[in-house]
Structure 1
Amino acid sequence: MKQAKAYRPENLHYLKMLARQYPTVQAASTEIINLQAILNLPKGTEHFVSDVHGEYEAFLHILNSASGVVREKLDDLFSTSVSRAELDQLATLIYYPKEKLEEISREREDMREFYRITFHRLIEVCRLVSTKYTRSKVRKAMPPEYAYIIDELIHTHYEDGDKRDYYENIISTIIDIDRAPNFLVQLCELIKRLAVDHLHLVGDIFDRGPGADVILDSLMAYHSVDIQWGNHDILWMGAASGSRTLVATVLANSLRYNNLDVIETGYGISLRPLSIFANEVYKDCDVRQFAVKFSNGDEGRYTEKDKLLAARMHKAITMILFKLEGQKILRNPAFGMEDRLLLDKVDYENKCVSVDGVTHPLLDTDFPTVDPKDPYTLTEEESVLIDQLTRSFRHSEKLQRHVRFLYSKGSVYKVYNGNLLFHGCVPMTEDGQLLEFSVGGKKLSGKAFLDYADLTARRAYYSKPGTAEREHGMDFLWFLWAGRNSPIFGRDKMTTFERRFIEDEAVWTEPKNAYYRLYNDPVVCDALLKEFGLEGPHCHIINGHMPVKSKKGESPLKAGGKLLVIDGGFCKAYQKTTGIAGYTLIYNSACFRLVSHEPFVGRANAIRENQDIASTSVVFERLEARMKIAGTDVGRQLQEQIDDLMALLSAYRSGEIVEDHKH
């Protein structure tokens, strides 16, 4: 036990406040013993997921299965005593208890024997996944209505004959009084709750997939989570803050990929004003460059009239977007993005545009709302429309609730238990230096710039509407989304204009920041970790954002395992490129384990056929000894509490503070 740290007289004020909570030597001593016991428990399991992009069915399955942790526990307990088919069914039951139980009930006339056997198995699993925690923490995780019963069952020694009868009687009573279905569901939820102590979501909840709102609902109900903002999250945070530019971007992206359900159904935002405007103003326009991209099999669900309307809406909002982006660039010279002002470089007579001093022919110059002499000013109709749409984003109660959650649980980066987590990059120069950004007359780089980015992103949402802080914050959110070498975007430029209007794909290129070349070097990664206060053999950078092209032989492990990229293609749209359906990471008290996943068969098939996601798990780093809570961030905080309590004990024993036995 460490010696009590010496307190100067001025610190007695703090100790006297602590004495109100622990008024006697006995009270302080008991708490020290409790905290010291916690420090010696194994570290809880951390689960890392990234780039889910609205693919809610696959995400919820990964969450329910804890990337194979639940199945691993079942195999540990039952692989020699239970058939594989029964284990598959038991795993599915834990993942989807209500749905699977309904299916089993339809197939069996007498459920009594099923419940009896299954309860025994689930209690064993509960007992196993609870071993890392204090009894108090496990009790708090239990459903209140069954806490006493479950506590009794998982702490009963079945070998004791008297206890066996007691145990069996509890289970029989639950079945007899028709509480078995509810009790089973609650047991399964408890197992999932205890299998993972903490979830890290390393960015990009939104866009491409259909259910970002479903994912956020599930995260809000999750027991312990943090989020590192991805560029697509920043986009929606900016739209919810009231940035007209980012509202236009959300709509342009959603129209481009025919992904409007989350806007209209998920968040209740009507696109009728945009459809009316587009049908009127772009009725006679060439909109071939704005044809909507459909997922496999979706195109047949839409008429030609539907497709034409979608293309008109897409073009209408994209032209508004280009104008608003131009206004941001002109308003913020510090962004250094004047070369991205392209609307004023259009030569309508010769149907071409100058990009970086090179002239390119244009596929489309039919821009009815653009004044060549004043190309970045909205027409009156456009201004009314984007204001109306922005109000809808601001007044969507569900979207605002989700974005407040993203702000409360999220950040640009996170340092947690020796690992540095972020979605994009730490911007670097080609020669390996930290890239500097001009901020208010100062130069910021590395951690200092990411801290500035985090604070400014918060001001966009929380500063008073109409203030300079909020306006600059919203401009900065756009910079984080698409700005040159933004730490969340990580590229030199976003070439949306070129992709829509220039045939030559060579000018579509969006060069990556030097970070994505340099991060293969262990020396660079060590220097980046040190920038954020991390050193040691088991420190890592955990990264999302750039899909790992597994089918081309690319590894998610960089710099000899110092850096991990865990974006492997959750989103169906990226799976042709990646060849898999995502990476996840498990960090428990013994090792780091990287899990690669095959595409998900779908929730209905998973339940009906007991099909799990096919996954491959690789332990890439083992700890020399099992890590205890003492070695974690929480452990360090608990040790500080122990040190303070030791100082309080010393003050009691020296008479500097008097015990209060009546308290």
Structure 2
Amino acid sequence: RYEPFLPKVNPDSDDEIYQEEILQIAKMNQAISIIQFKLEGAIIQRHPEFEMEASLLLDKINHDEGTVTIDGKVYPLRCDYFPTIDPNDPYALTEEEKLVVNRLMEGFLNSERLHKHVQFLYSKGSLYLKYNDNLLFHGCVPINDDLTFMEMTIHNKKYKGKALLDEYEDILRKGYLNREAGSANNRYLDYVWYQWEGKASSLFGKDKMTTFERLYVEDKATHFEHKNAYYKQRHNIELCNMILTEFGLDPYKGHIINGHTPVKENRGENPLKANGKLIVIDGGFSKAYQATTGLAGYTLLYNSFGMQLVSHQPFTSVKDALVNESDIVSTRRIVDKELERKTVRETDVGQRLTEQVNDLQALLAAYYDGRLVEKVSK
């Protein structure tokens, strides 16, 4: 009954783990998963423009036969125990579920440490960054199969490309600033959630998230999440130039610097795509990814001489480093070499400094012309 929800236990752990504890965790996992599907269902029903009706599956469950219908096909359920679902109103929260949700909301809203972290993200971060002719973003710029920018309707207006990410940025900030406004803030918070698993989200970059299918359906064909066409076309120089131009950057100078999808170097994948126009810097820093990537991450170096990508081999252990004198091995590869060294004046910081110098010179000229009167202290 609880098999799909059982936690993964580290066999090398010295901690004693009781079967009763594992079962309790599995029960909590199932309970919170159902709450998640109910809350997500409410958002999807509020927003037909999200085009996420395929993710509404609680109302597709046949409780008598223990099956679920997905995309018109019937599948047996791995677990058919749904004590908190009312078949007549499957997306309604029970009173106990409402209590859990309210307690969780209270915890998030009143967590001082969490707000410090989130405030740091909002003060320093953004969905994308333009820096010295380069464009940095986490996931993708959503595109269609025909290499046109994917459109998204937000508050009855269509956006795509740079305008879409700018609108997302505005919504993310308004949603956070008005977080205590309750349901009145849903017009922003619903779109904040959309960033998590919406097909036009630059952070997600897939057609849908198959959490329900992975938990409840054995057939792995239902688990597949189709990536946005961007990931298939990242090697396309014309696409990279189109994206750089869309964000107001010179395609002959700039690069796209991308994360999100770990590069599988041990399978021959190259982090440099489109002749070095696009650089994927996710090398699997987390230990969980290292068996897949064969690496322990990348470091991108950028100075006046050009750009280099450094790949790092996994660190095994302190004992191995001391006994066998092994250390992290790093390999450098040149991404772009400046024929003429870039000066400070040519950088973004240099341009800001130049603007400040021009402002100070204008201020000084106004003083000498008598347009600016010196303030005399009493």
When normalised by structure 2's length, the TM-score is: 0.93
Q: Distance in 2 between matches of 1:361 and 1:331?
A: 29
1:647/1:604 Cα in 2 relative to 1: closer, same or farther (>3 Å)?
farther
Q: Deviations over 1:372-394 (max 9, x none)?
A: 11110111011101211221222
Q: CA deviation at 1:634?
A: 1.2
Q: Which has the higher helix share?
A: 1
Q: Distance in 2 between matches of 1:384 and 1:490?
A: 33
- 1:396-411 counterparts in 2 under 5 A? 396-411=111-126
1:385/1:661 Cα in 2 relative to 1: closer, same or farther (>3 Å)?
closer
1:562/1:352 Cα in 2 relative to 1: closer, same or farther (>3 Å)?
same
1:358/1:601 Cα in 2 relative to 1: closer, same or farther (>3 Å)?
same
Question: Who wins on radius of gyration, i.e. which is larger?
Answer: 1
Match of 1:529 in 2: 244
Match of 2:36 in 1: 321
- 1:483-522 counterparts in 2 under 5 A? 483-522=198-237
Q: Deviations over 1:202-248 (max 9, x none)?
A: xxxxxxxxxxxxxxxxxxxxxxxxxxxxxxxxxxxxxxxxxxxxxxx
State the secondary structure of the residue aligned to 1:318.
Answer: helix
Q: CA deviation at 1:437?
A: 0.5
How many matched pairs? 378
1:291/1:369 Cα in 2 relative to 1: closer, same or farther (>3 Å)?
same
Question: Is structure 2 residue 3 aligned with structure 1 residue 288?
Answer: yes
Q: Deviations over 1:13-67 (max 9, x none)?
A: xxxxxxxxxxxxxxxxxxxxxxxxxxxxxxxxxxxxxxxxxxxxxxxxxxxxxxx
Q: Distance in 1 between matches of 2:323 and 2:376?
A: 62
State the secondary structure of the residue aligned to 2:20.
Answer: helix
Q: Distance in 1 between matches of 2:41 and 2:235?
A: 36
Q: CA deviation at 1:319?
A: 1.1
Question: Is structure 2 residue 342 aligned with structure 1 residue 627?
Answer: yes
Match of 2:265 in 1: 550
State the secondary structure of the residue aligned to 2:270.
Answer: coil
Match of 2:174 in 1: 459
Q: CA deviation at 1:658?
A: 5.4
Give percent identity, aligned residues only.
47
Q: Distance in 1 between matches of 2:319 and 2:109?
A: 35
Q: Which runs of 5+ in 1 are unaligned?
A: 1-285
Match of 1:567 in 2: 282
Amino acid at match of 1:519: R
State the secondary structure of the residue aligned to 1:594.
Answer: strand
Residues 460, 477 of structure 1: 8 Å contact kept: yes
1:364/1:536 Cα in 2 relative to 1: closer, same or farther (>3 Å)?
closer
State the secondary structure of the residue aligned to 1:560.
Answer: coil
1:640/1:345 Cα in 2 relative to 1: closer, same or farther (>3 Å)?
same
Match of 1:539 among 254, 257, 261: 254
State the secondary structure of the residue aligned to 1:466.
Answer: helix
Amino acid at match of 1:386: V
Q: CA deviation at 1:605?
A: 7.1
Q: Distance in 2 between matches of 1:331 and 1:630?
A: 51
Q: CA deviation at 1:654?
A: 4.2
Q: CA deviation at 1:500?
A: 0.4
Q: Deviations over 1:415-465 (max 9, x none)?
A: 111111110110001000000101122110011110110111112211162
Q: Which runs of 5+ in 2 are unaligned?
A: none
Q: CA deviation at 1:651?
A: 3.6
Residues 323, 375 of structure 1: 8 Å contact kept: yes
Match of 2:25 in 1: 310
1:366/1:512 Cα in 2 relative to 1: closer, same or farther (>3 Å)?
same
Q: Distance in 2 between matches of 1:470 and 1:313?
A: 29
Match of 2:85 in 1: 370
Amino acid at match of 2:264: K
Q: Deviations over 1:257-283 (max 9, x none)?
A: xxxxxxxxxxxxxxxxxxxxxxxxxxx
State the secondary structure of the residue aligned to 2:334.
Answer: strand
CA RMSD, Structure 1 to Structure 2 (Å): 2.3
Q: Distance in 2 between matches of 1:622 and 1:639?
A: 25
Indicate the structure whose relative CO is greater, using CA pairs within 8 Å and at least 6 residues apart. 1
Q: CA deviation at 1:405?
A: 1.0
Q: Distance in 1 between matches of 2:162 and 2:112?
A: 34
State the secondary structure of the residue aligned to 2:206.
Answer: coil
1:339/1:536 Cα in 2 relative to 1: closer, same or farther (>3 Å)?
closer
Residues 460, 469 of structure 1: 8 Å contact kept: no
Q: Distance in 2 between matches of 1:406 and 1:603?
A: 33
Residues 461, 470 of structure 1: 8 Å contact kept: no
Residues 342, 354 of structure 1: 8 Å contact kept: yes
1:579/1:375 Cα in 2 relative to 1: closer, same or farther (>3 Å)?
same
Q: Distance in 1 between matches of 2:63 and 2:348?
A: 61
Match of 2:300 in 1: 585
Amino acid at match of 1:305: E
1:457/1:313 Cα in 2 relative to 1: closer, same or farther (>3 Å)?
same
Match of 1:449 in 2: 164
Q: CA deviation at 1:603?
A: 6.9
Question: Is structure 2 residue 352 aligned with structure 1 residue 637?
Answer: yes
When normalised by structure 1's length, the TM-score is: 0.54
